[in-house]
Amino acid sequence: MKIMVVGGGGREHAIIKKLKENKSITEIFALPGNGGMAKDATPVAIGAKDIPAIVEFAKANAIDFAVVAPDDPLVLGCVDALLEAGIPAFGPKANAAIIEGSKVFSKNLMKKYSIPTAAYEVFEDAESALKYVESCEIPTVIKADGLALGKGVIIATDREMAIDAVKSIMTDKKFGASGNRIVVEEFLTGPEVSVLAFTDGKSVVPMVSSMDHKRALDGDEGLNTGGMGTVAPNPYYTDEIAEECMRTIFIPTIEAMNKEGREFRGCLYFGLMLTPKGPKVIEYNCRFGDPETQVVLPLLETDLLEAMMATASGNLDKCKIKFANKAACCVIMASKGYPEKYESGYEIKIAPEVFDSVYVAGARLEGERLVNAGGRVLGVTAVSDTLGEAIEAAYKKVEKVTFDNAYYRRDIGQRAMKALKE
Ligand code: AMP
Ligand code: GLY
């Protein structure tokens, strides 16, 4: 079988490595992929948002199954276009991907169907938004409606910040048209949990839970990033909480989308906060999380292609999805200075014995040399029987990967370890 994966980061590399375990796959193309995954897939210089070129490529190369991983192409209708061209594809259609594509849509959906989330107001003009934040409770959370490269959420810890956030999103259009509308919502507290779930609109099968580490520096200090590391499972997510989330969040969300005529087929990401008043939805994503995928898929025992095909064809109930009763830790190695200014072009050396554990995100080939070409360069994952062992093993593997100006957090998983001891 010939497979095509749309996207080019560490998440896509993790998907590709897992797919490769299926021996019926003869070739995997990554559009655009990156030089760091060239040993696992054939990178093709087609951008993830160039939908006409993606469809043309799939037809010309007789692709048997496509996986669309990033949010942008999903929201832009990449799966719709592939399906219309007769190419089976994993991922939601555009009318369902809106669950991530518009925060106003997702908040209104949750309100309409009583799915627990932070209380909120929607604003369509800067004037009324400013008036509101001048007297609302602080801290408050301000979110651009549309996609904003994961940067459209501002936690305002004082009023001045809240006012600046509204101005930069709505007046200065920091995120372009994504900021035409904003959501201002209640500030929630509690441990965060990421739960990815396969769903075909009829069944919903949560994967093993995980914990992201979004801040750049140790101790959850510094700027928000795309994610500096992950662990799975998330110790805060007990069986009891999982049961409650299934009943109050997962099933109601799938049913709500069906009732709206927006059946969701693909991977639905639930960003949850376990508040003192119970689990609440912080955000939905219409895709696998990055870097959550880099710890979740290594624990998957079921064949990934089989699970994806069952999901895409509406036969998820016939596929038994199993995860190993183990733990995983992924440490992201970034370029020093990320998420602000950083230098690139330094050669990356990966020792052969850890090659299978490395998921490359920001790198390119210069002849035979692999050099860093992005803020988040790669992720290193280890799986072990316990979380403590997985963390230790991941950091040991990190020592086998070198490039100048490499930076990584030293405390990935420590919060989870603390929770396990409590
Ligand atoms: P996002 O970019 O949507 O993943 O949001 C970034 C982070 O902002 C989340 O992971 C949370 O830590 C935080 N966040 C978002 N909404 C809220 C909220 N209502 N209360 C507290 N923190 C929030
Ligand atoms: N790790 C968060 C995300 O994928 O959006």
* CA atoms of 309 and 293, how far apart (whole Å): 18
Question: With a 6 A CB cut-off, is 215 part of the ligand 1 pocket?
Answer: no
Arithmetic mean of pLDDT, 5-28: 98
Identify the CATH number of the domain in which residue 47 sits: 3.40.50.20
Q: Provide the residue range defining the domain that includes 30.
A: 2-91
The protein residue with its alpha carbon nearest to ligand 2, atom 5, reads: 289
Which pLDDT band holds residue 178 (cuts at 50, 70, 90)? very high
Q: For residue 395, is it within any domain?
A: yes
Q: Are residues 52 and 87 in the same domain?
A: yes
Token pair in block for residue 238: 């007990």
| Number of structural domains found in the chain | 4
> Position 401: which residue type?
V
Burial state string for 64-82 with b = 16 or more CB within 10 A and e = fewer than 16: bbbbbbbbbbbbbbbbbbb
pLDDT at 393 over 80: yes
pLDDT for residue 150: 74
pLDDT for residue 94: 98
Q: Are residues 349 and 305 in the same domain?
A: no
How many Å lie between the centroid of ligand 2 and the Cα of residue 209? 13
Q: Are residues 59 and 168 in the same domain?
A: no
Q: For residue 129, is it within any domain?
A: yes
Token pair in block for residue 262: 């927006």
Identify the CATH number of the domain in which residue 281 sits: 3.30.470.20
Could you read off the pLDDT of 338-384 as tens digits, one per residue?
999 999 999 999 999 999 999 999 999 999 999 999 999 999 999 99
pLDDT for residue 149: 79
pTM: 0.97
Question: With a 6 A CB cut-off, is 70 part of the ligand 2 pocket?
Answer: no
Could you read off the pLDDT of 54-106 as tens digits, one per residue?
999 999 999 999 999 999 999 999 999 999 999 999 999 999 999 999 999 99
Domain end (from 180, 204, 223): 180
Identify the CATH number of the domain in which residue 164 sits: 3.30.1490.20
Q: Are residues 145 and 238 in the same domain?
A: no
Q: Are residues 12 and 65 in the same domain?
A: yes
Q: For residue 241, is it within any domain?
A: yes
Q: Which of 215, 224, 292 to mutate to test the pocket of ligand 2 (most atoms within 8 A of CB)?
A: 292
Question: With a 6 A CB cut-off, is 227 part of the ligand 2 pocket?
Answer: yes
Q: Are residues 56 and 36 in the same domain?
A: yes
Q: Are residues 10 and 87 in the same domain?
A: yes
Q: Are residues 163 and 198 in the same domain?
A: no
pLDDT for residue 127: 95
> Average model confidence (pLDDT) for the chain?
97
Nearest-ligand number for the alpha carbon of 10: 2
Q: Are residues 295 and 278 in the same domain?
A: yes
* CA atoms of 101 and 281, how far apart (whole Å): 16
Q: Are residues 245 and 332 in the same domain?
A: no
Q: Are residues 356 and 291 in the same domain?
A: no
Question: With a 6 A CB cut-off, is 413 part of the ligand 2 pocket?
Answer: no
For the CA of 285, the closest atom of ligand 2 is 5
* CA atoms of 322 and 299, how far apart (whole Å): 9
